Amino acid sequence: MAQEEASALAPRSTVRFWLEAGSAILDPDRRILFIDDSLARWLEEESPGLAGKNFDCLLRSRIPAWGKDLDEVWTDSSNLGRRRLKHDCTNGAQWYSLEVARNIAGWFIRLSSALPPHEELAGDAWDQHLGGVAERRQMYVRLLRAEAQLDNLVRRWPGVIFSQRADFSFQFVSPRIEELTGIPVELWRRQPKRFWEVIHEADVEEVKQQCKLAAESAQGVTNAYRIRHVRTGQLSYVLEHRQAVLSRTGLLLAYEGAWLDITRQTIAEKRLCTAAWKETLATLTMGLAHDFGNIISGIFSLDMGHR
């Protein structure tokens, strides 16, 4: 029956308008129980006439290239799914987001237009994809979400995320740096020498060598060192990953990297090593005392015998 419906519908490759979150409810066999007007219009049909029709066949007849993606959507064992779909039409590629929720009663479907991946939004593609109000609105929403996710990551990261200029001042640095060093973010952005002032004097030369190595390595470098709080004098251990940003000619432009606060782990490891050394020393001492006691007992017995 599904194959007959698909063959009865002629494939269409017309340019489609922007679809703002069209939705449908399907039975377990993917026949339409309800479909809203926006999705029906996108399918170039009337809502009342779509009841009972197979939604999968309708999509395949309109955009045959989605066949493989749809097969994977319907056979996915998870109850929730989301997939980006691409449609190549006369005015260029159009992108869609297909969201699927499944339960024993059937399926809930949400299909909406989406902006292309960021790597495709280059040059003239911006004008092509952001020509309408809905497209610009979605780009604005996407930027807000990305900004919120970045802000959440920066605040929850148990360390510091930074972008550091070649002179070691910070173009960007997360707020946690003030907690570790006692220096406000604003000062970090203006004063390059601050970086070397907070590093423990015994680690400065090693950190300089690591920075030099990072500028020569495409993979970046990772090392651990100590930093000092300028007001309290408290030492913290940080694990740093540093990646150089180079120009096409190999000129060092900046560093991108992160600190991970490993103070607790480092102190715990040192205590563990000390405890293990003390336990070993105690065992060795007890063994020596026992053996020495045996020797003394023998000597004492010989001495008593001669008397």
Over the stretch 130-142, which tens digit does the pLDDT of each residue have? 666 666 776 777 7
pLDDT range class, residue 97, cuts 50, 70, 90? confident
pLDDT in tens, 235-284: 999 999 999 988 878 888 899 999 998 888 887 877 777 655 566 656 66
Mean pLDDT across the chain, nearest whole number? Answer: 79
pTM of the model: 0.49
Tell me if 291 sits within 8 A of 298, measured CB to CB: no
Q: Is the pLDDT of residue 9 over 70?
A: no
Categorize the per-residue pLDDT at 156 as very low, low, confident or very high, splitting at 50, 70 and 90.
confident
Here the contacts of 161-164 (C-beta below 8 Å, separation 24 or greater) are: 161/257, 161/258, 162/255, 162/256, 162/257, 162/258, 162/259, 163/254, 163/255, 163/256, 164/195, 164/254, 164/255, 164/256, 164/257
Among 48, 72, 50, residue whose Cα is nearest residue 61 = 50
Tens digits of residue pLDDT in 39-63: 888 888 887 888 889 998 888 888 8
pLDDT tens for residues 195-217? 999 999 999 999 999 999 998 88
Q: Please, which residues bridge with residue 272 across strands?
A: none
Long-range contacts of 116-123 (CB under 8 A, 24+ apart): 117/84, 120/93
Classify strands 159-165 and 170-173 as parallel, antiparallel or unpaired.
antiparallel
Higher pLDDT, 277 or 82: 82
Task: Tell me the pLDDT band of 145, cut-offs 50, 70 and 90.
Answer: confident
Residue 123's pLDDT band (cuts 50, 70, 90): low
Nearest to 83 by CA among 114, 106, 60: 114
How far apart are the C-alpha atoms of 165 and 185, rounded to whole Å? 15
Separation between Cα atoms, residue 64 and residue 116, nearest integer Å: 20
Mean pLDDT of 301-307: 57
Task: Return the residue matching tokens 């015998």.
Answer: 305
Question: Is the pLDDT score of 38 beyond 50?
Answer: yes
pLDDT at 225 over 90: yes
pLDDT score of 272: 73
Closest CA to 74 of 94, 98, 47, 46: 98
What residues contact 21, with CB distance under 8 A and at least 6 apart?
Answer: 38, 110, 111, 112
| C-alpha to C-alpha distance for 168 and 253, rounded to whole angstroms | 11
Q: Please give the backbone phi and psi of residue 137, each rounded to the nearest 5 degrees, phi first.
A: -65, -40
pLDDT, residue 141, reads 73
Query: 75 falls in which pLDDT band (50, 70, 90)?
Result: confident
